Amino acid sequence: MPPPAPAPRPARHRTEDPVALRLRRAATGDQEAFAELYDLMSSRVHGLVLRVLRDHHHAEDVTQDVFVEVWRKSASFDPLRGSAQGWILAMAHHRAVDRVRSHTALQRRDATWHHDQDSATSLDSTADLAGAHLDALVVREAMALLPAPQRQALELAYLDGHTYSTVARLMQAPVGTTKTRIRTALRSLGSQLHDPDLITA
């Protein structure tokens, strides 16, 4: 008599990954499932992002961005290409790396901008200095064309800083004559330099 046939083993039901289950439900617009998904994965996502960024503030921002993207792209998850956890963590890593690159690019732009500003300031200062020397040269050339008494009176008053009375005493001339010489010299100088302020001095 043949031995009895072994009883069939009960079929094993593979428990669906809780992350994949909630991700699949979130793809249908189930907000409660998405909240549960967030509870399941937020710590792991934040930890991964923090290891890349090493900044808690940026890590929190990127973590929120990741879950916004998970919600938007949940329907595109393909379980045949990997686990739901791997899909979410890969997205988190990609976002974190993008933030690092963006921050680095911003720092480079800032450094370039400050360098350009410093260079521009340096050039402006150089131009001002060159302009001052050029103006001084032009003024000296214009003063050389003045009559000697006018030039001397102007030099004593404006270059040496003497008062009209002191200039008059040094030049042994009346104060009125000294003032006239200085004013005439300024008008002539202004005319040569095309400076209305000097002409009307």
The confidence band for 137, taking pLDDT boundaries of 50, 70 and 90, is: low
Which two tokens mark 102?
Answer: 């963006």
Tens-digit pLDDT profile for residues 2-20: 556 555 555 444 567 899 9
Which domain CATH number covers 157?
A: 1.10.10.10
Which domain CATH number covers 105?
A: 1.10.1740.10
Span 102-107, average pLDDT:
58
Residue 194 DSSP SS3: coil
Cα–Cα dist 11/83, whole Å = 24
Domain boundary among 79, 111, 143: 111
pTM of the prediction?
0.47
Say if 24 falls within a structural domain. Answer: yes
Number of separate domains in the chain = 2
Domain span holding position 40: 18-111
Examine the domain organization and report whether 172 and 134 are in the same domain.
yes
Crossing angle of helices 31-53/56-73, nearest 10°?
140
Cα–Cα dist 156/158, whole Å = 6
Domain boundary among 60, 81, 111: 111
Tens-digit pLDDT profile for residues 41-66: 989 999 999 988 888 888 888 889 89
- Name which of 24-28, 114-118, 172-176, 188-192 the model is least confident about: 114-118
pLDDT at 18: 92
Examine the domain organization and report whether 106 and 151 are in the same domain.
no
